[in-house]
A and B are shown apart, each in its own frame.
Chain A
Amino acid sequence: VEAIEITPEIQDAADGLAARLAVFVSEHDALPFRFDPREGAAR
């Protein structure tokens, strides 16, 4: 038995979430998140 099991209910919920977000970003013509080349991690 896998420790982390993707059950049909969990997959259905993920698919529903994906569909709602796809509509939301499409309606708002949303851009991808910003990439700033000046930003950099110190380590």
Chain B
Amino acid sequence: MSNTTATDLAALTIGEASALIDRGELRPSELLEAHLARIAEVEPVVHAFVEVYTEEARAEASAADVRAQRGERLGPLDGMPVSAKDLLDAAGHPTRAGSLATSERPKPADSEVIRRLRAAGATFLGKVHTHELAYGNETPPARNPWDLRRVPGGSSGGSGASVASGTSLASIGTDTGGSIRIPAALDGVVGLKPTYGRVSKEGLQPLSWSLDTAGPLARRVQDAAIVLQAIAGFDPLDPFSHDVPVDDFSEELAAEIDLAGVRIGIPESFYGPKLMPFVGDAFEAALAVFIEAGAVLVPVEMPELDRCQDVMNVLASVESASFNQVQNAERGHLYAPEVRAAMAAGQATSAITYVNAQRGRGVVRRAMHAAFEGIDTMLLPTIATQAPFVDGGGVELGDQELDVLNALNVLTIPANITGIPAITVPCGFSPDAMPIGLQLWGRPFDERRIVSVAAAYEQRTPWHTRVAPIR
């Protein structure tokens, strides 16, 4: 690797880097140093990281060097530099959740997700920015590596910006209404929201207990599957965890994945009226790829999905106002205005309305389960528009002007309301050269299928190979 630059190494995928280590052509500590050099180069403008744990990471990479040298690697994640959103506890460091109102006290133990990453041999680089309390889609101070004047999305915006700018091979985000998929799509990478209860939430600060899910952002579908493999599985310490078998998420990934006869539901009446024209064009081109590969597109009607945003806004605001009740009273003046407004909305909502939101959620879940009869997956755009400018005000969608939060999550929320798994992959670029994503929805706990179909699309298109210019 003597002629390879730090930037080249930081642009690898997990699959590529792991293969180089297996062949003895790269040491985990070299890979880490390349990432630290890349962080020094781009972080002054990208601002993805809250803190880089340089010395801890060097110790972990040295241990990975020894395992690699002895032929005792723990798996494909061993020695891979990864980061996590600052909602997840890391031992010896505070979890600030992007807020001045949270405690500065270091956490005594790792969250279960970070514990499992380390157990798989990952080199834990540090924590990346979240929108304050995960309640937003802008994630200051992080910027979008494709256009530094624009937001990276959120709330896992630091994760998206880091993976897209080559400072983490993968990053753990959380998704309550789209917060893994939104930054992944806006930053041109892959984001995988697992089924609710698939990944432990022990040591994860909640936004909304009944909606939150942790999962990976990465540069390739296979990389996301590798990370999910490491973090998935029952955790008796998480009361929301499901005790179901963990599939081999990469099992159906092959040299050429066959899509012939795969039945894909298309909920066009839900997403169609909401799209900016350039997103519609990119999505139509993606549909043509699936048709060409032999997939069968099946129209799906679910008018119930149009109430998802109302259900989400009640569940998230009320559950968040409950979890943060003491902090709101004592330190709420430290929140950004939009977070204060969200907490106020939760306080202004009646108990009857919260119960009605849960009842409405049941209606949507039944409609979703019925819609999946006879189809393998559903396909739709991830976001109806491109990344907005920082401090750019509202976002125009169709004949409406919406705030950034509600404009970006309109197509992602149904997967949270129903708890199903979802993945986003790059599917094109806007006239402003900003990434566009498409998402696949799956049956509960059938992440393997959406990983396979997403990887099949990736194999047939070039979008994932483009690298953010950081300009």
A interface with B by C-beta (< 8 Å): 3-7, 10-11, 13-14, 17-18, 20-22, 24-25, 28, 30-34, 41-43
Contact = CB atoms under 8 A, between A and B. Distances in A.
Contacts of B380: none
A4 B307 contact: no
A34 to B, nearest CB: 8
B345 A18 contact: no
Contacts, number: 87
A32 B359 contact: yes
A5 B344 contact: yes
A42 B236 contact: yes
B360 A21 contact: yes
A-B CB proximity, top 6 nearest: A3-B332, A41-B239, A30-B359, A14-B348, A18-B353, A3-B333
Interface in B276-335: 304, 307, 310-311, 313-314, 328-329, 331-333, 335
Interface in B331-349: 331-333, 335, 340-341, 343-345, 347-349
Given A10-B341, A17-B313, A24 B363 contact: yes
Nearest to A26: B356
A3 B332 CA distance: 5
Nearest to B334: A3
Nearest to B325: A4
Contacts of B237: 42-43
Contacts of A28: 304, 360, 363
A6 B360 contact: no
A17 B363 CA distance: 17
Given A10-B341, A17-B313, A24 B355 contact: no
Given A30-B362, A31-B359, A42-B239, A21 B314 contact: yes
Contacts of B255: none
Interface residues of B, number: 35
A10 B347 CA distance: 10
B329 A3 contact: yes
Contacts of A14: 345, 348-349, 353
A17 B353 contact: yes
B319 to A, nearest CB: 13
A33 B335 CA distance: 32
Contacts of A22: 352-353, 356
18 contacts: A3-B333, A4-B332, A10-B348, A11-B348, A17-B310, A18-B353, A20-B307, A20-B310, A21-B311, A21-B356, A24-B310, A28-B304, A30-B360, A32-B355, A32-B358, A33-B361, A41-B239, A43-B237
Contacts of B304: 28
B350 interface: yes
A25 B360 contact: yes
A25 B347 contact: no
B51 to A, nearest CB: 27
B357 interface: yes
Contacts of A30: 356, 359-360, 362-363
Given A13-B345, A17-B349, A4 B340 contact: yes
B237 to A, nearest CB: 6
A7 to B, nearest CB: 7
A41 B349 CA distance: 27
Nearest to A22: B356
Contacts of A4: 328-329, 332, 340, 343-344, 347
Contact of B344 (A6, A21, A34, A42): A6
Contacts of A17: 310, 313-314, 349, 353
